[in-house]
Amino acid sequence: MSRYCGPKLKLIRRLGPLPGLTTKKPKKRNLPGKPGNSLELKKKLTEYGIRLEEKQKLKFNYGLTERQLFQYAKEARRRRGITSLILLQLLEMRLDAICFNLGFATSIPQARQLINHGHIKVNDKKIDIPSFQCRLKDKISVKEKKISKNLIRNNLENKYNKECPSHLNLDLLNLEATILDYCPRANLQLQLNELLVIEYYSRR
């Protein structure tokens, strides 16, 4: 399946806030395709439907294809530790997610575009792969060109969440950041029950 390119606000009305997808907020309160002014009209979901909805939140928030998310779930199961937490940490260590958390971009799709256009460097090497898996102590920096720096500074000024996450260290003067640790569960912006995502994929 290809990456989702449809209406974003409809997704938010159906699944709830997805901070990585867009900063826009829907004006309508009803579910897509449902009349009325309240989300209380939402029908009761089956156990499978609840797991599917949590999986969809993760997929659309990080802009992944179904195949990509399945591969991340397999890798999380392979590693030792709490599978659900490892899955979230793998996604948070993607370069596009890190750029979003630093405030270099206002959303993960915008961060993906910045990376594709060559504005971001990792350990002083240009990386144009948004899914690039960063490691601890990696240095994330901005290309020396004036247009790159102005673009990032403008996004940092408009960032709604001014504080940098505790697992990242941001140098605003030089537009450089260092990954100090894996993302703790408390720093995750997405409201999600990740255990249900693991349960969803355990049946495949």
Whether residue 98 sits in one domain with residue 73: no
**1 domain-assigned:** no
Judge whether 136 and 181 are in contact, CB under 8 Å: yes
Whether residue 100 sits in one domain with residue 76: no
DSSP per-residue codes, 5-71: -S-HHHHHHHH---TTT-S---S--SPTT--SS-GGGPPPPPHHHHHHHHHHHHHHHTT--HHHHHH
Whether residue 56 sits in one domain with residue 111: no
Widest pairwise Cα distance in the chain: 53
**39 domain-assigned:** yes
**47 domain-assigned:** yes
Whether residue 177 sits in one domain with residue 100: yes
Judge whether 20 and 108 are in contact, CB under 8 Å: yes
Per the structure, the complete domain to which residue 137 belongs is given by 94-181
Judge whether 22 and 190 are in contact, CB under 8 Å: no
- Taking the CA atoms of the chain, what radius of gyration do you get in angstroms? 18
Judge whether 60 and 4 are in contact, CB under 8 Å: yes
Residue 108: count of CB within 10 angstroms of its CB: 26
**48 domain-assigned:** yes
First to last CA, the chain: 17
**72 domain-assigned:** yes
**What are the pLDDT digits (tens) for 140-189?**
999 999 998 999 998 888 765 567 888 999 998 899 999 999 999 888 88
The CATH number of the domain holding residue 109 is: 3.10.290.10
Domain count, the chain: 2
Q: What is the pLDDT of residue 177?
A: 94
Pair of tokens at residue 29: 């309160």
Whether residue 127 sits in one domain with residue 76: no
Please state, in angstroms and rounded to a whole number, the distance separating the CA atoms of residues 174 and 53: 41
Judge whether 115 and 99 are in contact, CB under 8 Å: yes
**138 domain-assigned:** yes
Per-residue model confidence as pLDDT tens for the chain (204 residues): 467 777 777 888 888 888 888 877 777 666 665 555 544 445 677 888 889 999 999 999 999 999 999 999 999 999 998 999 999 999 999 999 999 999 999 999 999 999 999 999 999 999 999 999 999 999 999 999 999 899 999 888 876 556 788 899 999 889 999 999 999 988 888 888 999 999 998 876
Whether residue 195 sits in one domain with residue 168: no
Whether residue 71 sits in one domain with residue 20: yes
Whether residue 162 sits in one domain with residue 101: yes
Question: Would you give the DSSP letter of residue 188?
Answer: -
pTM attached to this predicted model? 0.86
Whether residue 28 sits in one domain with residue 77: yes
Closest CA to 68 of 156, 121, 131, 11: 131
Whether residue 86 sits in one domain with residue 44: yes
Q: What is the pLDDT of residue 32?
A: 65
Please state, in angstroms and as integers, the Cα–Cα distance from residue 10 to each residue in 20, 24, 70, 85, 162, following that order: 15, 11, 24, 28, 27
Judge whether 37 and 72 are in contact, CB under 8 Å: no
